[in-house]
Structure 1
Amino acid sequence: MKTCFHGKKKLCSLLFTALLVMAVLGGCADGTGESSGDNSSKESVTDSQGTASTQESTQEQEASGDMYGGSVVVGIQQDIDSLDPHKATAAGTKEILFNIFEGLVKPDENGHLIGAVASDYTISEDGLVYTFTLRDGVKFHNGNAVTAEDVKYSLERVSGLLDGTPLISTMSAITAVDILDEKTVQVTVGSANTELIYSFVAAIIPAGSGEEEGADPVGTGPFSYVSYKPQEGIVLAKNPEYWQEGLPHVDQVEFKIVGDGDTALMELQGGTIDIYPYLTDSQAQVIQNNYQVISSATTMVQALYLNNGTAPFDDVRVRQAICYALDKEEINEFVGGGTGTLISSCMPPTLKDYYTDLNDTYGTTANVEKAKELLADAGYADGFDMEIAIVSGYEFHMQTGEVIVEQLKKVGINATIQGMENSEWLEKVYNGREFDATITCLTSDMTPGYLMNRFQTTSGKNFINFVSSEYDEVYQKAQAAIDLTEKAEYYKQLQKILCDQAGSAFIQTPADKTALSNRIAGYKFYPVYVQDISTVYIVE
């Protein structure tokens, strides 16, 4: 069995190395037939493109007592939907829980997987058996040491082995979780999948605590839960027994709900929050003299998501007409200052060897005549009325909606924005599927199947009600493919089907512009949707 240790730069296996080279633009990670050494202490000063990020290169300091203590306030746009890490749905919730919980592995700021609760793992040559070695000295926030029984319980809970209900769909591939000894857990899966290792970021919680996590969450992360007030925020405290030496730096972090864009701007101008991500270009312009404004590429996919199960959006010609009606270049420039990457399907371009550029299909500027022609052919020569549901707290999406409303007017579609709280959006739009259209971002990890799986006809995450037997068949082939060139080709076919059928009007992968107080340093961007406060420190 070959091995791959990040810190020693040894050769990885061709199979999984190739997958992650594609996924993270040249990175090396561990996979089928391999073992992963512990590289958790390795620090890297890079952004998601592999280049030195401005704030870290200019503010990097040696560790000292001056870097510890104090508190920070992070502004967030929405309330959380669950404190249970296995049941949380909203990306805005998961980015907070990243600080409380850890899986056997977790991503670093380059998208590589590193050891967390596990210090090491191996995957059998046939890809069916994962063996994890538990890290010494990892404790839950309640002071108890993490045991193999805790890991077994957590994995059986998320996979559905515990009660027949999988809480994380990809983990339903698990057929058995066995304890080999007090430090070793073996996981058996039904079929090989080169992407499955990323699912082991699923939180490890104390055995038997599942029903308690939603009220009093206990994890192993750098911060422990203190309190939560609906519509106000959540407070976390430093975990003094965190296994990773030197982290975290601050004693307390408050994730404060700041509501709509106007409120966020007032908070920023008043200096009451230290960190605020996902700025619009106009917000960045207003506060740039008082804050550090930094940005990085993301794996988020912003779109005007269309409910394929509701008239008139059940007609592919109507959906295609909307795609032709949008001027994505104008949206990108107005809302993000031109920093986003325009797309026409649901795959982040950062997964470069799986991504295919389909922008020629509808163009990146509006084709009003083609849109009107398709609407007339579908029986809507005079247009129609529609509502666009948007979470009010996300100013980026609200501004996108305002631009789209004006663009749709030009082809005869009268669209109105329906602002709502995140809880209402989750209930009515995402879970209830009671909507015409919605503007949001879907977030991805560093695997190509993470987003593409949700458009299968029977997927519980298929909130747009996309139906395509061809898509379903190709997706199954992509999952079964072991050869990565073949796998990549299947994923490109999936993108084209979704684009040609206009499953939704895909717009861009927006850059993440973040405001940082001048008293803050050590902030790191991740290519996945998290807010890691463990490395943040105060320089005052």
Structure 2
Amino acid sequence: MKRRILAGILAALLCAVLPGCGDGSGAGGSSGGQNAGSASQQAPVDEITVGIAQDLDESLDPHHTVAAGTREVMFNVFEGLVKPTPDGDLIDAVASHHELSGGGTVYTFTLRDGVKFHNGEAVSVDDVVWSIERCAAADGEGTPLVEAFSNIQSVEAPDDKTVVITLKAPDNEFLASLTTAILPADYDGQDTAPVGTGPFRFVSRAAGDSVVLERFDEYWGEKPALRTVTFKIFESGDALVLALQSGAVDLCAHLTGTQAAQLGGSFQILNGTMNLVQALYLNNAEKPLDDVRVRQALCWAVDKHQVIELVSDGTGAALGSSMYPAFGKYFDDSLTDYYTQDLEKAKSLLTEAGYPDGFDLTITVPSNYQPHIDTAQVLVEQLKAVGVNAQIELVDWGTWVSRVYVDRNYQSTVVGVDASSMTARAMLERFTSTYGKNFVNYNSAEYDALFQQASAAEDDAQQTALYKQMERDLTENAANVYLQDLGDLVALRSDLTGYRFYPIYVMDLSGVQAG
């Protein structure tokens, strides 16, 4: 009964704040519904339309990608020397094999025979060297595009099949950074007409509307069964559901339970996890959030398990810091319930910090991600109990990126943060004080020192322990109000198979085919 009452409150609030808007990085429950997929059943099985919630970055150059949604789509287009598998392993891709020597500082890669770029040119060692040096800012201009590459001492090609990367110091996680896309050195059109080596090649883009990919028939590996994939952008959740019901969309990830429940038997609903950290992210440089007692009070005021039940139908995994379960050994489950809702403790901390009557808080949320909107609505209700008057500010995705992520001009926000590669570093480095993507302005000398120790650690167990200390630092100092790794509901046309979940935020269409 309590859940139904809260759900009713949320529904009323959503209607008042945002009639008919939604979709995005979400979760939820099962099936049911009406008239889905009649047109889809007649569509060719080698052509599908995939619904997505946001446009891609203005530049499609993978070395300059900002949005996780762009990486999710373009995962099908680009490859590195190695690439991830659905099991979380790294396998050789543009390289056929590699060896590690020199006490963990020398990586020797042999290029795979027959790898071609989408423009028909063969991949050469010059392309590999250029791609890595570009991301390492080897010319001394600017900062590295891939932070791990700042540890590179040299990149050399002793012959036309071999690339040798020498590090300044051993790095247990360096191999994962070599998922960075290998690009043609003599091509300058990556921003608008990207060229990679993946199983699909870029065909066209209509800004704000769609992106079209096509099977690359000269791909070195197993060819996809699909010939054409059109990613159709729906910034309205209502429009997305209607498109699914009509059969205009064949596949869509990150649905909410409510959306999935409106689809009929023409769709199968696959259930995975988003592999991201959803939180109420706090601008630590903005008053009153610059006071650790205030941030801790917010943590004590929130019931994350209720959030998971209401927003994700219980499918999300509770989190206590900036790491999610798919990272295995790095995930510290003991932090999950470090804060359990204690309203009196929250009120006491607010009084101690000089806010006995609470304060006003603006939560800026991207309007195209319904699960984050739903989460913010639950938080608004929970925070009222300790006198915090939270108001939701809905902005379009482009505004969120420019104002919140880049300019850091906000108080708080509800989003999900993912890992660009399968490394703990990718999740934790963003909170170091000098990191350019530290959009919450977390500033801790102790945290910075732990990161430096972890980066220099040669022993894997020691590095893992240091990363867990960093996670605890974020939790104890309430850098953010950590919530969940959202459940991920994927609607897949019932006559299709082969969709696979990954431990990072990507959408791999290379295995999708008629069942």
TM-score higher than 0.5: yes
Is the 8 Å Cα contact of residues 260 and 394 (structure 1) preserved in structure 2? no
Is the 8 Å Cα contact of residues 249 and 536 (structure 1) preserved in structure 2? yes
Partner of 2:348: 373
Does 2:371 match 1:396? yes
Q: Write the distance in 1 (CA, Å) between the matches of 2:336 and 2:500.
A: 31
Partner of 1:269: 245
Partner of 2:259: 283
Partner of 1:85: 62
Residues 72-131 of structure 1 deviation map (CA, whole Å, 9 limit, x = unaligned): 111111111120000001110001111111111100111111111111111114111111
How big is the shift at 1:342?
Answer: 0.7
Give 4+ residue runs of structure 1 displaced > 3 Å after superposition. none
Select between 444-453 and 489-498 the one with higher mean Cα deviation.
444-453
Q: Write the distance in 1 (CA, Å) between the matches of 2:265 and 2:288.
A: 47
Partner of 2:447: 471
Q: How does 1:98-177 map to 2 (within 5 A)?
A: 98-162=75-139, 164-165=141-142, 166-177=144-155
Match of 2:178 among 189, 200, 225: 200
Q: 1:350 to 1:216 in 2, by over 3 A?
A: closer
Q: Write the distance in 2 (CA, Å) between the matches of 1:99 and 1:199.
A: 17
Is the 8 Å Cα contact of residues 389 and 417 (structure 1) preserved in structure 2? yes
Unaligned runs of 5+ in 2: 1-43
Partner of 2:477: 501
Q: How does 1:494-533 map to 2 (within 5 A)?
A: 494-533=470-509
How big is the shift at 1:350?
Answer: 2.7
Tell me, what secondary structure is at the counterpart of 2:63?
coil
Is the 8 Å Cα contact of residues 157 and 163 (structure 1) preserved in structure 2? no
Tell me, what secondary structure is at the counterpart of 2:335?
coil
Tell me, what secondary structure is at the counterpart of 1:353?
helix
How big is the shift at 1:284?
Answer: 2.1
Is the 8 Å Cα contact of residues 172 and 460 (structure 2) preserved in structure 1? no
Partner of 2:163: 185
Q: How does 1:139-538 map to 2 (within 5 A)?
A: 139-162=116-139, 164-165=141-142, 166-209=144-187, 211-245=188-222, 247-287=223-263, 289-356=265-332, 357-363=334-340, 366-444=341-419, 445-538=421-514
Is the 8 Å Cα contact of residues 79 and 230 (structure 1) preserved in structure 2? yes
Q: Write the distance in 1 (CA, Å) between the matches of 2:383 and 2:449.
A: 34
Q: Write the distance in 2 (CA, Å) between the matches of 1:297 and 1:94.
A: 17
Bigger relative contact order, structure 1 or 2, given CA contacts below 8 A and separation 6+? 2
How big is the shift at 1:215?
Answer: 1.5
How big is the shift at 1:491?
Answer: 1.4
Is the 8 Å Cα contact of residues 254 and 274 (structure 2) preserved in structure 1? no
How big is the shift at 1:430?
Answer: 0.6
Q: Write the distance in 2 (CA, Å) between the matches of 1:368 and 1:260.
A: 36
Q: Write the distance in 1 (CA, Å) between the matches of 2:214 and 2:327.
A: 35
Residues 411-446 of structure 1 deviation map (CA, whole Å, 9 limit, x = unaligned): 111112222222211111111101111111111243
Q: Write the distance in 2 (CA, Å) between the matches of 1:309 and 1:457.
A: 11
Tell me, what secondary structure is at the counterpart of 2:393?
strand
How big is the shift at 1:266?
Answer: 2.0
Q: Write the distance in 2 (CA, Å) between the matches of 1:79 and 1:163.
A: 33
Tell me, what secondary structure is at the counterpart of 1:176?
strand
Q: Write the distance in 2 (CA, Å) between the matches of 1:163 and 1:446.
A: 27
Letter in 1 for 2:441: N
How big is the shift at 1:191?
Answer: 1.2
Letter in 2 for 1:224: R
Tell me, what secondary structure is at the counterpart of 2:77?
coil
Letter in 2 for 1:220: T
Residues 310-364 of structure 1 deviation map (CA, whole Å, 9 limit, x = unaligned): 111101111111111111111101111111111111111233322222134211x
TM-score (normalizing by structure 2): 0.88
Q: Write the distance in 1 (CA, Å) between the matches of 2:511 and 2:162.
A: 30
How big is the shift at 1:270?
Answer: 2.1
How big is the shift at 1:69?
Answer: 5.9
Is the 8 Å Cα contact of residues 282 and 335 (structure 1) preserved in structure 2? no
Tell me, what secondary structure is at the counterpart of 1:361?
coil
Letter in 1 for 2:323: M
Residues 248-296 of structure 1 deviation map (CA, whole Å, 9 limit, x = unaligned): 1111001111113222222222221111111122222222544211112
How big is the shift at 1:164?
Answer: 2.3
How big is the shift at 1:496?
Answer: 1.0
How big is the shift at 1:478?
Answer: 1.3
Q: 1:394 to 1:325 in 2, by over 3 A?
A: same
State the identity %. 44
Q: Write the distance in 2 (CA, Å) between the matches of 1:360 and 1:399.
A: 22
Match of 1:95 among 69, 72, 79: 72
Letter in 1 for 2:227: D
Tell me, what secondary structure is at the counterpart of 2:439?
coil
Is the 8 Å Cα contact of residues 161 and 175 (structure 1) preserved in structure 2? no
Letter in 2 for 1:295: N
Letter in 1 for 2:113: D
TM-score (normalizing by structure 1): 0.84
Q: Write the distance in 2 (CA, Å) between the matches of 1:370 and 1:427.
A: 36
Letter in 2 for 1:502: A
Letter in 2 for 1:402: Q
Q: Write the distance in 2 (CA, Å) between the matches of 1:154 and 1:320.
A: 43
Residues 434-490 of structure 1 deviation map (CA, whole Å, 9 limit, x = unaligned): 111111111124322221111111111111000110111111111211222222221
Is the 8 Å Cα contact of residues 302 and 439 (structure 1) preserved in structure 2? yes
How big is the shift at 1:522?
Answer: 1.2
Select between 426-435 and 367-376 the one with higher mean Cα deviation.
367-376
Unaligned runs of 5+ in 1: 1-67
Q: Write the distance in 2 (CA, Å) between the matches of 1:154 and 1:469.
A: 33
Q: Write the distance in 2 (CA, Å) between the matches of 1:183 and 1:403.
A: 56
Q: Write the distance in 2 (CA, Å) between the matches of 1:162 and 1:204.
A: 18
Letter in 2 for 1:389: T
Letter in 2 for 1:169: E
Q: Write the distance in 2 (CA, Å) between the matches of 1:172 and 1:288.
A: 51
Letter in 2 for 1:377: E
